[in-house]
Copies of this chain bind each other. A is one copy, B any other.
Amino acid sequence: MTVETKERQAIRRSSNVPAYSQLADILEQQIAVLTDAERQRALPSEGDLSRQYGLSRITVRQALKSLETKGLVYSAQGRGSFPTVPRVKGISGFHSFTAEVRRNGQEPGSVILATDEVDGLPASVTEKLPVAEGENGPQVHLRRLRLIDGLPIAIEDAWLPKALFPDLAPADFSDGSLYSLLADRWGLEPAWTDALIEPGLANAEVSRLLKIAEDDPVLVAWRVTVTAEDKVFERVRSIYRPGFSLRVARYRLG
């Protein structure tokens, strides 16, 4: 990768954002616009980056390591560090629906079908997603219909623990991205997710909402999302319309 030597972005040492994080952001941004062919060439070496940005090598390595963890680059001893080549495209269903659809250049939509508060999780959820002790307290329940370019894509039931989000009220769901609200008001962000995916057939209600035929094949995904500190963020059941693919990108093996 060729890095422009003039007007290169600099690391702000006064910022409260760590230097390695700033460097990772800069590199991620530069990598994002590369073509597949350009990804064959190595990034600047750790020594070069160290000199160019006035950082120690350990800090540069920390930045590269964080990109490697995200699956954006890999390092090869004796050769250098290289960008990876994206292998699939589409919607994962694991990140923010709104953000993900928009990044694909499509228009996301969301219709709230119901909101309420319940004392504990439904049995159907706890069967699929085992609940650790003390995790089955009061929950806020949210039922949404997800749309892409106006077409109904999925029915989503989400349960959020009131213990983690005090004062969260059904009224908060009226507009905007739910994840953004939770990040802004409680400073909590999803870090990991565990999911179960199984095949199903559309019943009367599902076929009506998704505008498909009864007994059409659908995907049913059960998902529990946790924060970096392993606290349950939300539990979700999603039913996806036929023809829709769920993407699982950059899943780490081993």
Q: Which residues of A contact B (CB under 8 A)?
A: 36-37, 65, 69-71, 74, 76, 82, 84-85, 87-90, 94-95, 128-130, 132-133, 189-201, 217-219, 224-226, 228-230, 240, 242-254
Contact = CB atoms under 8 A, between A and B. Distances in A.
A217 B251 CA distance: 25
Nearest to A73: B230
A252 B252 CA distance: 8
Contact of A192 (B65, B71, B247): B71
A65 to B, nearest CB: 8
A194 B253 contact: no
20 contacts: A70-B254, A76-B229, A85-B132, A85-B230, A87-B129, A88-B128, A88-B130, A88-B195, A94-B253, A95-B253, A191-B252, A192-B250, A193-B248, A194-B247, A196-B245, A198-B243, A199-B199, A199-B218, A200-B217, A251-B251
B189 A254 contact: yes
Contact of A228 (B74, B228, B245): B74
